[in-house]
Amino acid sequence: MIIDTHAHINDEKLIDYFDDIKKSLNTKLKLIICPSYSLDTMKSSFLLSQEISEVYSALAIHPNNADEWNEETCNFILENYRNKKVVALGEYGLDYHYEGFNKLLQEKVFLEQLELAKKCKLPSVFHVRDAFDDFISLLSQNLSQFSGGVVHCFDGDISVAKRLLNMGLMLSFTGLVTFNKKEYLHDVIKYVPIDRIMLETDAPYLAPKKYRGKICLPQYVEEVYNEVAEIKNIKREVLDETIENNIKKFFTKLVI
Ligand SMILES: [Zn+2]
Ligand SMILES: [Zn+2]
């Protein structure tokens, strides 16, 4: 059995598939980490983690929702981070992809959550899109506030990967690695030491090639494992065990 470290199973697009997802737990998937991106999704991710033993929660405000960062959202994290099922702050970071983003606000919200993660003694799940230079410079200026992190859905090149690895980050790969137009990620995966890799779906988005055009389900993470095993030229069993160890070491509150 394998693990999906990043699936938005609280997303409304997955409501109709929820029975399927539940069935995959304990057959295909050992566990799922459900990140959040808003106050509502923090609440639903937390709730799911309380209801389903194989679901864990990460709490944060996404850079695209930076204007939702306020006392109420911060307090939700402060009130719940000690819960045994809350294993990280995430997903938060920088996202310059869509026009009209507020760079200064994103920076502020990023740095405040970075500091909060340190205070909570939890690792961070970072979302970084079209913003690697600023992310790297902000993090390197604030390393004293850094309590460990993974850049989820990594889509950069080898030089970016190198800079992130040098700062002690883990890199997490999605179904993007199965896309023909993302061949460069194969070189990145060859380059990144296997003990610095995690795998995820980012469901309901980014269905692997085999399920192209469909809603992505967490159990499809198997396609990502298959692809990475092939790229790294190792057996699936070896990959599965290594990735599980990486996850255990990183998310120290997980019970596997
Ligand atoms: Zn993300
Ligand atoms: Zn996500």
> 20 C-alpha to center of ligand 1: Å?
23
Grade residue 175 by pLDDT with cuts at 50, 70 and 90.
Answer: very high
Count Cβ neighbours within 10 Å for each residue of 231-251 and write b for 16 or more, e otherwise. bbeeeeeebbeebbebbeebb
What pLDDT sits at residue 57? 98
Predicted confidence band of residue 234 (pLDDT cuts 50, 70, 90): very high
- Please report which confidence band the pLDDT of residue 138 belongs to, taking 50, 70 and 90 as the band edges: very high
Judged by its nearest atom, the ligand closest to the C-alpha of residue 92 is 1
Ligand 2 center to 236 CA (angstroms) = 25
The enclosing domain of 213 has a CATH number of 3.20.20.140
CA of 242 to the centre of ligand 1 (A): 24
Instruction: Report the pLDDT value the prediction gives residue 26, as an integer from 0 to 100.
Output: 87
% of the chain beyond a pLDDT of 70: 100
Give a yes or no: residue 256 inside a domain: no
Stated pTM of the model = 0.97
Ligand 1 centroid – CA 63 distance (Å): 9
What residues flank ion ligand 1 with Cβ within 5 A? 91, 127
Point out the ligand nearest to the CA of residue 10. Answer: 2
- Mean pLDDT of all residues in 202-210: 96
DSSP state letters, 36-55: -SSHHHHHHHHHHHHH-TTE
Residue pLDDT, tens place only, 1-59: 999 999 999 999 999 999 999 999 989 999 999 999 999 999 999 999 999 999 999 99
Nearest to 90 by CA among 136, 137, 128, 51: 128
> What percent of the chain lies above the pLDDT cut of 90?
98
Residue 197 lies in a domain: yes
Is 52 inside a domain boundary?
Answer: yes
Whole-number Cα distances in Å, 63 to 99, 128, 138, 163, 168? 13, 9, 14, 21, 22
* 40 in any annotated domain: yes
Domain count, the chain: 1
Average pLDDT, the chain: 97
Is 193 within the bounds of a domain?
yes
Q: Which ligand has the shortest distance to the CA of 155?
A: 1
Task: Tell which residue, 256, 148, 154, 147, has the closest CA to residue 197.
Answer: 154
> Within a domain: residue 207?
yes
> From the CA of 44, how far away is ligand 2's center (Å)?
14
Please give the distance, rounded to the nearest whole angstrom, from the Cα atom of residue 127 to the centre of ligand 2: 7
Note down the domain range covering 49.
Answer: 2-250
CA of 152 to the centre of ligand 1 (A): 6
Centroid of ligand 1 to alpha carbon of 8 (angstroms): 10
Q: pLDDT of 141-169, one tens digit each?
A: 999 999 999 999 999 999 999 999 999 99
Cα 3 to middle of ligand 2, angstroms: 15
